């Protein structure tokens, strides 16, 4: 994207080195195999601070020693890193750093992988003249239930504090006091609990911040590193599993600037305990009893054979491309059923158009965008690592952010404008936005535009919000991050069609601009692209229409479907109308579940196959921006768990549909042959960093994706607004949202359970006042005779008239309410 930076030549310790112009000396020196020691320097945290003074070097022509971390290279620069003066400064800084360090390496978790240890060995004086008492703190204190702090070991490099201030921007972790009394702490000793706080452990160059879960678990020589991708959410961060004795002990970031910029959220970092959970399903079960694989496969094959085209399958977001491909092939090829979908189903035509390669933005495009529109999603909840990415883009002053959503988002504070539409009104708002943007485009072209408030239909305040939002968006320089949830419900197709219109009006089909859709499931995009979509086969190929989620449920209830296969999917908990799903699964003649844990849906299953965890899986996934990434097994399968791709291939064979797939690379090759825009892709090409299919030559072969004619312009007036009702004292419009910590991952990891939110109903303060409710009140949210108990939280940024509940909580799940827009909030 950006032009190649010009190169400069300098001399470091007598070696000629070529480096990028503007690179910091410390990085440039590496080109000449010269290591300059650092502690505080960490480019991920922003600009250099020059605090630790470890990297002092001598530069010809400059009398004072300079910090290599903050000195940009210049052509012809002559640098010395091992002169007597420099060596003296290095040994001085090490000696100073150890003045108050306890030197407790034998009992320190960092021992063996500690920069302080390494640098003290490599650059230190080897002895200390310090005989004074060192400073003491109570230790090791829990900073949060997940992180412990040993302030005596701290060398005050500021990295953790800078992370909290300048990256996560939660500003909870601070340096307190001054001078030699400085220490890292929080307000009034409150815990530091924030969604990304685990990153400070990895940033710490000493053993001051340690993971509760990793303390005293392993030494570096006991462990192996295994690189893979986290599939616990659509961020798909690149991770490094620390494995000891075939168990995952730790998850570290495997920096990939194209994906995660080197950060992990706490779910990705600490959510590995479930891999070794005792509660895992580790062998097949038929009719509730343990069974061997042969028996289980026979049982399933027999039932599916009899169900035939009356079978449906629902694929969850943790499913890999290979698994997704094979399950759709099982249905379409072996059973003649088109009823295959994922939790991220979209109307096939829209899915196709949204996947157009020139319309897709890459994650790094956020860094250079002039404006960013976040619409219909809260990245913090749905794709956390993009929350950090967007914050960085704003902080660096390049991007102006606007947020349009039904519920307040974590990014609102950094937004130039926010528009808040009512739950279920996304389609109306986006239609108004598309009209406004279209008008501006026309006006720009010299044609007087129609004002947005002339949009037919009840625009309410959409036009006003649309005007404010549109005013901030720069044509050709905008990245839109949208929630694929916008496609849900009666107005969903219309909402996404309007989004496409917005993209067109903004000229987003250009380099550096575009859209990124945020799916619900980690591999939502990949699953659609390999054919887990009713009405479109692999590569969005034309395919017979099948049933989507709602019609699968209806089919099971009506008896029109006999069997349903759930792969990594728990519709009762995670989909709207959980009770409806429960009833549907109870009525189904056959329920087959592939799951790692027992849940409400597996309870209804006749046959259960144990699922692999993401650390055991081999295969590929596709990032929301189109980057194919490789999953590599880090640990062996526990118990009698088999690879799911193998199970699905075997099932196909038993049903007479031989796929010829005998390995994951063969599965990848088969997908590459069937999905035109993945053509020729191999695991080797994907490698450790992944590859965006839009940036491969094969992408051009599918330009017709974009050329698929849009369906007739979506009418804005036919939106189903009948049930919007009128606001009365006790009728409110309900919206639900996925909260970061409300899911089975939180529940399955003991260490994370404290984060699971109790059900909370959010209201605007004016509604709270009208209903006599205060924050903290216990209430019941009722709809059509069903109720969910929740605690009230008044939120000034909520839109009056709207209430929000959390989806997929372990108890009092909002999905337990019928799919109704209007609710009452009642004080028992």
Partner 1 sequence: MPETRVLFRDIDAPGLATIQGYRDRGGYGALKRALHELEPDELLSSLEDSGLRGRGGAGFSMGKKGSFLPRGEMEKYLCCNADESEPGAFKDRELMQKNPHQLIEGCAIASLAVGATYAFVFIRGEYWEIADILDRAVGEAYDAGYLGADILDTGVRVELIVHRGAGAYICGEETALLDALEGKRGNPRLKPPFPAIQGLYGGPTLINNVETLSNVPHIVNNGADWFKGFGSEQSTGTKVVSVSGCVQRPGNYEIELGIPSREIIYGLAGGPPKGRRVKAWFPGGSSAPVLTEADLDLPYTFEDLAKAGSMLGSGSIIVADDTISIPELALRTARFYHHESCGKCTPCREGTNWTTKMLDRVVRGEATPMDLEIIAGVQEKIIGHCLCVLGDSMAMPVGSMVAKFRDEFEATIEAAREAGHGALDHSPLDRPLTTGAQAA
Partner 2 sequence: MRPTDELTAAERRELIASMRPEDAEGVPALGELDVPAALREQIETAMARYPQLRSAAIPALWAVQRHYGWCTPQGVREAAAVMGVTPAYLEAVATFYDLIATSPIGRHRILVCHNISCWMNGADELLGAFCDAAGADRDDADQHGASSADGEFFVKGFECLGACDIAPMASIDQRYYGPLEAADAVAAIEALRDGEEPLSDKALALRPAAGGPDPSATERAPDAEGHDA
Q: Residues in contact with partner 2, total (CB under 8 A)?
A: 40
- How many angstroms separate the CA atoms of 603 and 606, rounded? 8
Q: Which residue do the tokens 């009666």 mark?
A: 490
Judged by beta carbon, residue 40 or residue 351, the one nearer partner 1 is 40
Indicate which single residue of 42, 58, 109, 152 sits in contact with partner 2 (rule: CB under 8 A): 152
Question: Does the footprint of partner 2 cover residue 137 (CB under 8 A)?
Answer: yes
Choose, by CB under 8 A, the member of 754, 784, 811, 826 that binds partner 2: 754
Residue 144: CB minimum distance to partner 2, A: 6
Q: What is the largest CA-CA distance in the chain?
A: 86
Q: Quick one: 273 or 775, whose CB is closer to partner 2?
A: 775
First-to-last alpha carbon distance for the chain, in angstroms, is 59
Quick check: 631 binds partner 1 (CB under 8 A)? Answer: no
CB of 692 to partner 2, least distance (A): 35
Q: Which residue from 695, 122, 118 is spatially nearest to 365, judged by alpha carbons? A: 695
Q: How far is the CB of 205 from partner 1 (least distance, A)?
A: 12
CB-wise, 56 or 756, nearer to partner 1? 56
In the bound state with partner 2, the residue whose beta carbon lies nearer, of 126 and 133, is: 133
Nearer to partner 2, 184 or 486 (CB): 184
> Which of the stretches 18-26, 60-68, 569-577, 719-727 binds partner 1 when contact is defined by CB under 8 A?
60-68
Beta strand 285-286 pairing with 289-290: antiparallel
Task: Report yes or no: 469 and 404 within 8 Å, Cβ to Cβ.
Answer: yes
Shortest Cβ 57–partner 1 spacing (Å) = 12
Q: Restricting to residues 559-598, name those near partner 1 by CB under 8 A.
A: none
Query: Which residue lies nearer to partner 2 by CB, 172 or 318?
Result: 172
Structure tokens belonging to residue 445: 């072209």
Told to check if 214 binds partner 2 by CB under 8 A, we report no
Residues 65 to 124 in contact with partner 1, rule: CB under 8 A: 65, 67, 70, 88-89, 92-93, 95-97, 99-100
Q: Which of 85, 136, 586, 827 binds partner 2 (CB under 8 A)?
A: 136
Instruction: Please choose which of partner 1, partner 2, none residue 212 contacts, taking the beta carbon within 5 to 8 angstroms, the exact cut-off set by kind.
Output: partner 2
**Structure tokens, 562:** 């006999």
**Interaction between residue 795 and partner 1 (CB under 8 A):** no
- What residue 54 binds from partner 2, partner 1, none (CB within 5 to 8 A, per partner kind)? partner 1
* Residue 519 and residue 317 in contact, taking contact as beta carbons nearer than 8 Å: yes
**Part of the chain binding partner 2 (CB under 8 A), chosen from 144-152, 239-247, 519-527, 666-674:** 144-152
Q: Of 102, 137, 603, 637, which lies in the binding site for partner 1, with binding defined by CB under 8 A?
A: 137
Contact letters for partner 1, residues 158-187 (x by CB under 8 A)? x----------------xxxxxxxxx-x--
Contact segment (CB under 8 A) with partner 2 among 130-138, 223-231, 421-429, 726-734 equals: 130-138
Judged by CB under 8 A, the residue of 56, 394, 592, 764 near partner 1 is: 56
Task: Say how many C-beta atoms besides its own lie within 10 A of residue 543's C-beta.
Answer: 18
Using alpha carbons, select from 43, 73, 261, 38 the residue that is nearest to residue 162.
43
Q: Answer whether 420's CB lies under 8 Å from 797's CB.
A: yes
How would you class 680 by CB atoms within 10 Å of its CB: exposed for 0-12, middle for 13-18, buried for 19 or more? exposed
Q: Is 136 in the site for partner 1 (CB under 8 A)?
A: yes
Query: Does residue 138 interact with partner 2 by CB under 8 A?
Result: yes
Six-digit token pair at 254?
A: 């495997």
Structure tokens at 161: 């504090």
Nearer to partner 1 among residue 182 and residue 460 (C-beta)? 182
DSSP 366-389: HHH-SEEEEES--HHHHSHHHHHH
DSSP state of 163: I
Distance CA 822, CA 828 (A): 19
Binding to partner 2 by residue 175, rule CB under 8 A? Answer: yes
DSSP β-bridge partners for residue 90: none
In the list 67, 90, 117, 144, the residue contacting partner 2 (rule: CB under 8 A) is: 144
Give CA–CA dist 95/827, Å, rounded.
64
Is 248 strand, coil or helix?
strand
Query: Is 177 one of the binding residues for partner 2 (CB under 8 A)?
Result: yes
Residue 35 interacts with which of partner 1, partner 2, none, CB < 5 to 8 Å by class? none
Kindly report each contact of residues 544-547 with a partner whose C-beta sits within 8 Å and lies 24 or more positions away, as own/partner: 544/338, 545/338, 546/312, 546/337, 546/338, 546/339, 546/340, 546/341, 547/312, 547/338, 547/339, 547/341
257: tokens are 């600037």
CB of 377 to partner 2, least distance (A): 21
Which of 230, 671, 781, 794 touches partner 2 (CB under 8 A)? 794
Burial 476-515 (b: 16+ CB within 10 A, else e): ebbbbbbbbbbbbbebbbbbbbbbbbbbbbbebbeebbbb
Alpha carbons within 13 A on the beta-carbon side of 199:
32
Residues that bind partner 2 (CB under 8 A): 102, 133-134, 136-142, 144-145, 152, 170-178, 186-188, 190-194, 212, 413, 741, 754-755, 757, 765, 775, 794, 796
Residues that bind partner 1 (CB under 8 A): 48-54, 56, 64-65, 67, 70, 88-89, 92-93, 95-97, 99-100, 129-130, 132-133, 135-138, 151, 155-156, 158, 175-183, 185, 189
């Amino acid at each position: 994207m950006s032009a190649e930076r010009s190169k400069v030549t300098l001399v470091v310790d007598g070696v000629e080195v070529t480096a990028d112009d503007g690179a910091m000396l410390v990085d440039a020196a590496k080109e000449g195999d010269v290591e300059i020691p650092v502690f505080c320097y960490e480019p991920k945290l922003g600009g250099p601070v020059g605090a630790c003074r470890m990297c002092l070097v001598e530069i010809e022509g400059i009398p004072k020693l300079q910090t290599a971390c903050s000195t940009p290279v210049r052509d012809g620069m002559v640098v010395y890193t091992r002169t007597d003066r420099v060596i003296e400064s290095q040994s001085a800084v090490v000696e100073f750093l150890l003045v108050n360090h306890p030197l407790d390496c034998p009992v320190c978790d960092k021992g063996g992988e500690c920069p302080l240890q390494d640098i003290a060995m490599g650059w230190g004086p080897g002895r200390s003249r310090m005989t004074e008492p060192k400073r003491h703190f109570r230790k090791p204190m829990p900073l949060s239930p997940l992180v412990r702090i040993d302030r005596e070991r701290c060398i005050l490099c500021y990295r953790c504090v800078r992370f909290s201030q300048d990256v996560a921007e939660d500003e909870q972790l601070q340096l307190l006091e001054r001078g030699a009394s400085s220490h890292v702490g929080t307000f009034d000793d409150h815990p530091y609990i924030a969604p990304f706080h685990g990153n400070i452990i990895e940033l710490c160059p000493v053993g001051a911040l340690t993971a509760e879960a990793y303390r005293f678990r392993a030494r570096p020589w006991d462990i192996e590193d295994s690189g893979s991708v986290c599939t616990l959410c659509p961020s798909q961060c690149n991770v490094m599993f620390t494995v000891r004795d075939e168990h995952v002990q730790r998850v570290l970031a495997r920096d990939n600037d194209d994906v995660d910029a080197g950060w992990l959220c706490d779910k990705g970092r600490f959510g590995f305990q479930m891999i070794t959970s005792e509660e895992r399903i580790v062998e097949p079960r038929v009719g509730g009893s343990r069974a061997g694989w042969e028996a289980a496969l026979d049982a399933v094959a027999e039932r599916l054979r009899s169900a035939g085209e009356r079978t449906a399958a629902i694929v969850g977001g943790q499913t890999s491309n290979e698994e997704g491909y094979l399950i759709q092939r099982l249905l379409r090829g072996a059973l003649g059923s088109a009823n295959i979908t994922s939790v991220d189903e979209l109307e096939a035509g829209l899915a196709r158009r949204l996947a157009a390669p020139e319309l897709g933005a890459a994650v790094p495009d956020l860094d250079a965008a002039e404006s960013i529109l976040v619409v219909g999603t809260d990245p913090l909840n749905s794709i956390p690592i993009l929350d950090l990415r967007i914050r960085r883009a704003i902080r660096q002053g390049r991007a102006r952010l606007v947020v349009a959503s039904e519920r307040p988002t974590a990014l609102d504070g950094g937004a130039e404008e926010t528009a808040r539409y009512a739950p279920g009104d996304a389609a109306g708002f986006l239609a108004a936005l598309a009209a406004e943007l279209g008008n501006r485009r026309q006006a720009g072209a010299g044609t007087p535009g129609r004002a947005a408030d002339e949009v037919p239909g009840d625009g309410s305040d959409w036009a006003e919000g649309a005007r404010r939002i549109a005013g901030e968006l720069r044509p050709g320089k905008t990245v839109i991050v949208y929630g694929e949830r916008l496609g849900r419900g009666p107005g969903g197709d219309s909402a996404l069609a309007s989004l496409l219109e917005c993209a067109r009006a903004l000229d987003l089909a250009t380099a550096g601009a575009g859209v990124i859709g945020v799916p619900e499931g980690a591999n939502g995009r990949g699953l659609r692209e390999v054919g887990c979509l009713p009405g479109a086969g692999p590569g969005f190929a034309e395919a017979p229409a099948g049933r989507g989620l709602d019609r699968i449920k209806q089919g099971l209830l009506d008896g029109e479907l006999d069997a349903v296969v759930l792969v990594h999917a728990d519709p009762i908990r995670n989909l709207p109308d959980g009770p409806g799903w429960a009833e549907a699964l109870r009525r189904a003649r056959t329920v087959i579940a592939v799951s790692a844990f027992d849940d409400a849906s597996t309870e209804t299953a006749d046959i259960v196959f144990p699922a692999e965890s993401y650390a055991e899986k081999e295969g590929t996934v596709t990032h929301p921006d189109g980057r194919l990434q490789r999953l590599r097994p880090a640990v062996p399968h526990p118990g009698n768990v088999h690879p799911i791709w193998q199970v699905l291939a075997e099932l196909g064979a038993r049903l007479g549909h031989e796929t010829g797939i005998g390995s994951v690379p063969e599965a990848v090759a088969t997908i590459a042959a069937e999905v035109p825009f993945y053509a020729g892709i191999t695991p080797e090409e994907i490698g450790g960093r992944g590859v965006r299919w839009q940036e491969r030559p094969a992408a051009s072969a599918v330009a017709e994706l974009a050329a698929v004619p849009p369906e007739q312009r979506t009418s804005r007036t036919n939106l189903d607004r009948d049930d919007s009702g009128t606001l009365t004292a006790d009728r409110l419009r309900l919206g639900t949202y996925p909260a970061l910590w409300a899911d089975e991952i939180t529940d399955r990891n003991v260490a994370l359970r404290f984060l699971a939110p109790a059900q909370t109903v959010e209201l605007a303060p004016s509604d709270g006042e009208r209903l006599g409710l205060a924050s903290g009140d216990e209430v019941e949210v009722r709809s059509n005779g069903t109720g969910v108990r929740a605690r009230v939280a008044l939120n000034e940024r909520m839109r009056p008239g709207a209430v929000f509940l959390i989806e997929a909580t372990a108890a009092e799940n909002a999905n337990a309410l019928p799919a109704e827009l209007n609710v009452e909030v009642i004080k028992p």
